[in-house]
Amino acid sequence: MMQVNEEYWRNYWEEKNIFKADEKGKKFYVLEMFPYPSGDLHVGHLRNYVIGDVYTRYYKMKGYSILHPMGWDAFGLPAENAAIQRKISPKEWTLENISVSKATFKKLGITYDWDREVTTCLPDYYKWTQWLFIQLYENGLAYRSNAPVNWCPSCMTVLANEQVESGECYRCGTEVTKKDLEQWYFGITKYADRLLEDLEDLPLWPEKVKLMQRNWIGRSYGVTVNFPLKSGNGEIKVYTTRPDTLYGVTFMAVAPENPLLNSLDITPEKRQELDAYIDQARKKSEVERTGTKTEKDGVFTGVYAINPLTGEDVEIFVADYVLATYGTGSVMGVPAHDERDFSFSKKYSIPIKVVINPEDEQLDISSMTNAYIEPGIMTDSGEFTGMISSDAIEKIIEHLEAADKGKRTVNYRLRDWLISRQRYWGAPIPMIHCPDCGMVPEKVENLPILLPDSRKVDYVPKGTSPLGSVDDFVNTKCPKCGKDAKRDTDTMDTFVDSSWYFLRYTDALNSDSIFSKQKADYWLPVDLYIGGVEHAILHLMFSRFITKFLHDIKMISHQEPFKQLFTQGMVMNRINGDLEVMSKSKGNAVPVGPFVEKEGVDVARGTILFIAPPEADLEWKESSVDSIKRFISRIQTVLDAEEGNNDDKEIRYQTHLLVKKVNSDIERFKLNTAIAAMMEYVNFIHKKMESADFSLSKDTKAMFIKVMAPFFPYLAEEYNKLIFGGGSIFEKQWPVHDETALMTDQIEIPVQIKGKLRAVITVGRSATKEEILKLAYSNPNIKKHLQGMTIRKEIYVPGKMVNIII
């Protein structure tokens, strides 16, 4: 029986540079999302990387120049937390984890080009993260702003909107609070339209992910309407997508944070009441304020605005369900035609005015229990009365613009990306605060701004940036005027690091530039990007944004980084009876190292690929290896037999069918059925060997070995060496099936009576309809069922089936 020497092949691939990108001819860039280095890789990681490895080996055999790199998303909180607990430096801890993970990758023999390894926490990488920041700053896309931000009291840092899930921190699940802080933002909203529209250019992305991004960007079209104040000469602007309901506006609500409240002419008594409400609102969490379950409340300001279309008075409320950060921070209230406004008006006895009726009904305020939010016929709406409301929308916008009472507006749910973090283990923001010059970017030649040695830093989180405690870091000279100045002490969100790493791989060792345009243009876009769907918004949107920005500053030609996205399913494991995603932090991780040591890499690969289709979640069971172990040993039985020379038509048929099937299964990401097809094939040969003096010819063995190579690379190499004398199987050409081999002389035709299968007949390939029907009618079971029946119709689908209707 064949002995597999994994180490030999691992070294062979590496020493002979089999999978080193040679940058010649047609290219294929395979990428798996790089991991956070948490130490031991587990079976969940294995799945992700093995899928990528299959494609790398497959495209290599198809003659492409391959780029398949690996690196480390190495900044971030776990390193700091671990360091605080164990009193070792985040850097040491991280680098140690990387070396453990890397050793496991090497043991697996995944086809990475390690010369291109990137580690985001090392200065040769974050130098360019800082460079990128400066480019964004100089193009007006990085700015500081003082605003209420999401604050995680447990992580002691701010979070981006994208990192808050139902009011909780995406990392630790702690309820997020609001804090007013001056923070750094990236102007991703300037790219909102392009990020939305260019999704059309990504046909090979899952619809689900594109939909999630569309929803997240949340583009809406409407109008900003000016409501003059009743007293004084100010005005309040509101944004609405339903100008057709403007005649029904009876109140308006302003966010507690909206600064225009200060300019309203409010009586001192009212002012006191309002301040109490505002104070209370600010203490509430986002979920308490805007969650669907809580009842909306507010306080009347005592001040009125004027409906610009009707001239009627409109009560102005302060209400904490109004978001200060969306639209104008104020909304108009139309009780009759908005569910939320309806219940608010009931609560505060605000008048209700119907301005849209259903086509066949007149709404009656006294009997209404719900708002009518559908389109309908305009009523009580001045010159627009009688129009279909959906048509009136555009007419009213035109009217408002003509009268200078409003302006057509597009709004987005997407917010600018808050990227500063009050933590130590991240890339320092390369900006300097100068008392004279203000904000000044560090000179590019001074990059990287090194993180100070952790021994000098008090990086235990206190809610302020740990770097602020290091005097020789903070104190510097202004790059512009040379006077004493202070460095910015925040570090960047780790999603900044990972939003451009796929570009660095194309030119990882470049010390003069972030990458060369020529290399990036050759390799981009990533042809196949494999990772979890949990990054559908965060990482994938930020990467698209940065790619577009780099395109705009002429660093790259492409506008989209990832041509095809494949989101693989999660690996689940039972813990105390509950099925949970496998992860180190949950304590249910099955480490890869001991597993492959025991079973071998090929068995580990085959198992994880066979038990479920790559996109489906799967439950990990140790016992799943049994079927693949049996299969591999059966492959050996078949291949170990002496070469025969008695391949017949049937063998040729089966072999070419296998090649065709595996090829198409790989192309459509059905790696589980590709393995099933190989099993069928091997079972077929095995049976044939038992019943006759038969063994495969050398040529047929070659076809099979090539087809299995992307899945079981070690075994394939051993047989390639044994039977064909060496070299790497991956330098050989992927087989092409011969369509003529699939043309059998005989075909089987199922015969149905009234849609029920009654017989299967075997006929010659070229049999005519008449011949087939004749044969069908002579079949005993068909005869039996047709006894005494009248045939009403015969349906014959050429080469497929016969259906007799009685």
Residues 234-253 interacting with RNA (rule: CB under 7 A): 239-242
Query: CB-side exposure of 430: number of CA atoms within 13 Å?
Result: 26
Among 180, 484, 748, 771, binds RNA (CB under 7 A): 748
The answer to the question of residue 411 lying near RNA (CB under 7 A) is yes
Tell me how far, at minimum, the Cβ of 63 lies from RNA, in Å. 23
The answer to the question of residue 220 lying near RNA (CB under 7 A) is yes
CB nearer to RNA: pick between 152 and 618? 618
Q: Angle 597-40-15 (CA atoms, 0-180°, nearest 5)?
A: 60
Residues 6+ apart with CB under 8 A from 144: 182, 183, 184, 185, 439
Question: How many whole angstroms separate alpha carbon 569 and alpha carbon 611?
Answer: 12
Tell me how far, at minimum, the Cβ of 711 lies from RNA, in Å. 13
Helix, coil or strand: residue 598: helix
Query: In the block, which residue shows the tokens 């080009």?
Result: 113
Question: How many whole angstroms separate alpha carbon 370 and alpha carbon 563?
Answer: 47
Torsion sign, CA atoms 275, 278, 284, 288? positive
Question: How many whole angstroms separate alpha carbon 27 and alpha carbon 162?
Answer: 34
Q: Which of residues 686-725 bind RNA (CB under 7 A)?
A: 686-687, 690
Q: Which stretch binds RNA (CB under 7 A): 98-106, 107-115, 699-707, 794-802?
A: 794-802
Q: Which of residues 287-306 bind RNA (CB under 7 A)?
A: 289-292, 294-296
Query: In the block, which residue shows the tokens 């691939």?
Result: 13
- Quick note: the x/- pattern for RNA over 259-288, rule CB under 7 A, is ---------------------------x--
Q: Which of residues 594-633 bind RNA (CB under 7 A)?
A: 610-613, 616-619, 623, 626-627, 629-631, 633
Query: In the block, which residue shows the tokens 């299964």?
Result: 665
CB nearer to RNA: pick between 63 and 291? 291
CB nearer to RNA: pick between 305 and 550? 305
Query: In the block, which residue shows the tokens 């921070």?
Result: 329
The rounded Cα 658 to chain-centroid distance in angstroms is 33
The answer to the question of residue 762 lying near RNA (CB under 7 A) is no
The answer to the question of residue 664 lying near RNA (CB under 7 A) is yes
b/e for 226-235, b at 16 or more Cβ within 10 A? bbbbeeeeee
CB nearer to RNA: pick between 262 and 787? 787
The answer to the question of residue 533 lying near RNA (CB under 7 A) is yes
- Take residue 239 and report the two structure tokens written for it: 């944004």
Among 10, 42, 60, 758, binds RNA (CB under 7 A): 758
802 contacts 794 by C-beta, under 8 angstroms = yes
CB nearer to RNA: pick between 103 and 616? 616
CB nearer to RNA: pick between 203 and 726? 203
The answer to the question of residue 329 lying near RNA (CB under 7 A) is yes
Helix, coil or strand: residue 618: strand
Residue type for position 17: N
Strand blocks (E) in 247-396: 251-254, 298-306, 313-319, 330-333, 356-357, 377-378
CB nearer to RNA: pick between 100 and 287? 287
The answer to the question of residue 634 lying near RNA (CB under 7 A) is yes
The answer to the question of residue 323 lying near RNA (CB under 7 A) is yes
Among 57, 504, 652, 661, binds RNA (CB under 7 A): 661
Question: How many whole angstroms separate alpha carbon 678 and alpha carbon 262?
Answer: 74
Distance in Å from the first CA to the final CA of the chain:
59
- Take residue 741 and report the two structure tokens written for it: 């081999």
Query: In the block, which residue shows the tokens 């700015």?
Result: 143
Q: Which of residues 413-432 bind RNA (CB under 7 A)?
A: 413
Residue 237 dihedral angles phi and psi, to the nearest 5°: -100, 140
Tell me how far, at minimum, the Cβ of 543 lies from RNA, in Å. 17
Q: Which of residues 339-368 bind RNA (CB under 7 A)?
A: 340
CB nearer to RNA: pick between 449 and 675? 675
CB nearer to RNA: pick between 205 and 239? 239
Q: Which of residues 96-125 bind RNA (CB under 7 A)?
A: none
Provide the 8-state DSSP code for 428.
Answer: B
The answer to the question of residue 673 lying near RNA (CB under 7 A) is yes
Tell me how far, at minimum, the Cβ of 539 lies from RNA, in Å. 13
Q: Which stretch binds RNA (CB under 7 A): 308-316, 356-364, 638-646, 746-754?
A: 746-754
Q: Which of residues 536-555 bind RNA (CB under 7 A)?
A: 537
Greatest C-alpha distance within the chain: 109
Tell me how far, at minimum, the Cβ of 360 lies from RNA, in Å. 20
Question: 752 has which bridge partners?
Answer: 757, 803
| Size of residue set near RNA by CB under 7 A | 89
Read out DSSP for 270-282?
HHHHHHHHHHHHH
Q: Which of residues 147-206 bind RNA (CB under 7 A)?
A: 165-166
| Alpha-helical runs (H) found in 312-354 | 339-348
CB nearer to RNA: pick between 70 and 782? 782
CB nearer to RNA: pick between 278 and 533? 533
Question: How many whole angstroms separate alpha carbon 84 and alpha carbon 671?
Answer: 43
Tell me how far, at minimum, the Cβ of 342 lies from RNA, in Å. 10
Question: How many whole angstroms separate alpha carbon 27 and alpha carbon 318?
Answer: 59
- Take residue 395 and report the two structure tokens written for it: 């007419």
Tell me how far, at minimum, the Cβ of 715 lies from RNA, in Å. 16
Tell me how far, at minimum, the Cβ of 535 lies from RNA, in Å. 11
- Take residue 400 and report the two structure tokens written for it: 């408002």
Q: Angle 758-762-767 (CA atoms, 0-180°, nearest 5)?
A: 115
CB nearer to RNA: pick between 432 and 666? 666
Tell me how far, at minimum, the Cβ of 341 lies from RNA, in Å. 8
Q: Which stretch binds RNA (CB under 7 A): 179-187, 299-307, 641-649, 672-680?
A: 672-680
The answer to the question of residue 800 lying near RNA (CB under 7 A) is yes
The answer to the question of residue 797 lying near RNA (CB under 7 A) is yes
